Chain A
């Protein structure tokens, strides 16, 4: 997907800053709306998660967002494998505003996260990009098509990971 496509003409991806208006953002998930309006700034300021905005610089409107934070996969028997934990980056949340749905912008944000991780791993250990997916969610097949692999199954969800070793 080219960043010069018409729908993307005025879109950039930026970090969450104090002067960016968040209140007009609305997506289909009330849980994500609530997070964005009430917790995103707190998490950003307190280094809980990094919040990146898909932003229309012409309209000065937030089009979507993605959060990244640290994650750890613990191995069952560390001594057996020589390592006990595998460090990862977690895509915690993704949302696209109602008016911009249907343009693959969610995929753009995952591309961005993968690209960002390419540089993160030069500074701290980070082998995987992971996401948690509800078992019944059809999105899982798209993540698998990107190269994510199933790492863990639990009662209600899967953990998928993308190897960052390139």
Chain B
């Protein structure tokens, strides 16, 4: 679970949150959630996800390259 950041407001440019979840949980979706997930999979990534993923791939390549330099 993501824990609330304490004693200060989280700003968009300041995302250093804590997140703590079990490694073993899994979930059974409801009918509606299942239909939504199937629809999501048919539709593919949303525009924000595409942009974030492109940034992520660039960041990943850069940080891997940096490790070896």
A residues lining the B interface (CB < 8 Å): 1-3, 12-14, 27-29, 31-32, 35, 43, 48-49, 67, 69, 71-77, 80-81, 86, 90-96, 100-108, 110-112, 114-116, 118, 127, 131-134, 136-140, 142, 144-149, 151-154, 156-157, 159, 161-166
Contact = CB atoms under 8 A, between A and B. Distances in A.
A92 B27 contact: no
Nearest to B7: A28
Given A146-B49, A163-B44, A90 B37 contact: no
Interface of B: 1-6, 10, 12-23, 25-31, 33-38, 40-41, 44-57, 59-63, 66-67
A157 B1 contact: yes
A134 to B, nearest CB: 5
A112 to B, nearest CB: 6
Contacts, number: 212
Given A3-B59, A76-B31, A149-B40, A162 B52 contact: yes
B33 to A, nearest CB: 5
A14 B67 contact: yes
